[in-house]
Amino acid sequence: MTQAASSVRTFLIADIRGYSRYTEEYGDEAAAALAAKFEEIVNEDVEAHDGQLVEIRGDEALVVFTSARQAIRAAVDLQAQFQEAAADLDIPLRVGIGIDSGEAVQLEDGTFRGAALNIAARLCGRAQAGEVLISDSTSRLAGRLGGLHYSDKGRVRLKNIPDPIHIFKVYSELDARPSSNRWVVMIFGKERPGLSWRLGAIVALIAAATAVGVVYLTAGEGAEPSGAASPQPLPAPTQPAEVEATDLASVVPPAIWKDCRVQPVAGARADETAACVPANGMPDRWEISRYPDGQALLAAYRSDFGRRADIHSNTGACNGFTWGGENVWNHGPGKPGGRVFCYFDGNDAVVVWTHERRDQPTHLDILVTAREGGLDHPGLTRWWRPWHHVIGKAG
């Protein structure tokens, strides 16, 4: 088999974590559906970033790029889409990604040969679920990319690679905001929030009971030591009080509220409106309004949507690949959040969405419009994905 001339390429390898165990627990049909969703997301993302899908085998994909920059952005976008799909569809789509760049030869059958593939595979194996690990070679080729953070992981030794490799973890700046300091239980790789006070109370009770048991057993044949004080009863656990939503400042995270200014005159039907111009330039501008109730919110949304005769309800999509449509969006399975529509306005990509209160004291009825120039709907999508879940909720 003849070989073509070698050239520098960047290889991305992605692998679903826990796929074999998931297959054993839930069966071949569920595993096939998980793999199909994985393949669908990979195919769309690769095409959007000018990559070439070399091979996909169930839970693993190999992609090649001529641009290291495109490979890194594709990887970060992939992780965002995997996480969104996992939340929306309640599936354990937890993926590790490794990337390396170097000379490689493409064979007649379309496959490649080169050390970069081996390193990318080892980095993929080393990456935890949700992580993107890149080599120093890829980092030097791409340089630092706007909107992304690089975490230096030092030099590591990889199996069957003779020399240590300097690696970096890459992630979106949107994922760099402080954590909410909540307990999270991982069940088959899926985050299960909302158990914070109960789980904390259980752990506290177990720890206290263990400590009392140790004192009791070390006192001598189980006899209570002379003069020992009886253990005091533990206070009953109390559930943290919910933070009630009152105004826009209470339902917009401080990290992005700092770029907002409340307007002297609110929008039509609204109680309060703020205009926001982010310092980092993503998006170019966004505006948020608070409404007295769901009826006023729906009227405002319908008024804005009614101006778009080219968009029909419950059609299309708003993501990095398709921009134009209107649909319901959900916090998760069976957890509706509101409605969203998107479109192009000249050279601007625009997204409009509601976040509905639904009788929850921690939420408000709000309408948000975000606008990004240069037809950059992939960039606007990366901003929208994490924030639309939290804008509108206090705490």
Q: Residue range 359-364: average pLDDT?
A: 91
**pLDDT on residue 197:** 42
Radius of gyration of the chain (CA): 25
Contact present, 32 and 38 (Cβ < 8 Å) = no
Beta bridge partners of 168: 134, 152
Helix H or strand E encompassing 388: helix 377-390
Token pair, residue 298, equals: 């729906």
Contact present, 61 and 42 (Cβ < 8 Å) = yes
**What is the distance between the alpha carbons of residues 224 and 219, in angstroms, rounded to a whole number?**
6
**pLDDT on residue 174:** 72
Q: Which of 112, 157, 150 is nearest to 7 (CA)?
A: 112
Contact present, 1 and 107 (Cβ < 8 Å) = yes
Beta bridge partners of 325: 342
Q: Residue range 58-87: average pLDDT?
A: 93
Query: Residue 324 — φ and ψ, nearest 5°?
Result: 150, 105
Helix H or strand E encompassing 329: strand 323-332
Cβ neighbours for 163, distance < 8 A, ≥ 6 positions apart:
none
Query: Residue 124 — φ and ψ, nearest 5°?
Result: -60, -45
Residue 227: how many other CB atoms lie within 10 Å = 5
Q: Which of 34, 91, 93, 94 is nearest to 333 (CA)?
A: 91
Cβ neighbours for 336, distance < 8 A, ≥ 6 positions apart:
328, 329, 330, 356, 358
Q: What is the pLDDT of residues 129-159, one digit of tens each?
A: 899 999 999 999 999 888 899 999 999 988 8
Token pair, residue 169, equals: 């973890």
**pLDDT on residue 109:** 78
Q: What is the pLDDT of residues 250-259, one digit of tens each?
A: 999 998 999 9
**What is the distance between the alpha carbons of residues 378 and 63, in angstroms, rounded to a whole number?**
20
Query: Residue 318 — φ and ψ, nearest 5°?
Result: -125, 90
Beta bridge partners of 56: 61
Q: Residue range 315-323: average pLDDT?
A: 87
Cβ neighbours for 7, distance < 8 A, ≥ 6 positions apart:
103, 104
In the predicted model, what is the mean pLDDT of the chain? Answer: 82
Cis upstream peptide for 283 (omega within 30°): yes
**What is the distance between the alpha carbons of residues 340 and 325, in angstroms, rounded to a whole number?**
8
Angle at 254 between CA 250 and CA 256, to 5 degrees: 115
Name the E strands within the chain. 7-16, 52-57, 60-65, 95-106, 112-113, 132-135, 148-156, 165-172, 185-187, 190-192, 260-262, 272-276, 285-291, 315-318, 323-332, 335-345, 348-355, 365-372
pLDDT of residue 188 exceeding 50: no
Number of H helices, E strands in the chain: 10, 18
Q: What is the pLDDT of residues 116-125, one digit of tens each?
A: 989 999 999 9
**What is the distance between the alpha carbons of residues 200 and 182, in angstroms, rounded to a whole number?**
10
**pLDDT on residue 70:** 95
Q: Residue range 282-300: average pLDDT?
A: 93
**pLDDT on residue 365:** 95
pLDDT of residue 334 exceeding 90: no
User: pLDDT confidence of 271, banded at 50, 70, 90?
Assistant: very high
Q: What is the pLDDT of residues 219-239, one digit of tens each?
A: 444 434 444 444 455 555 455
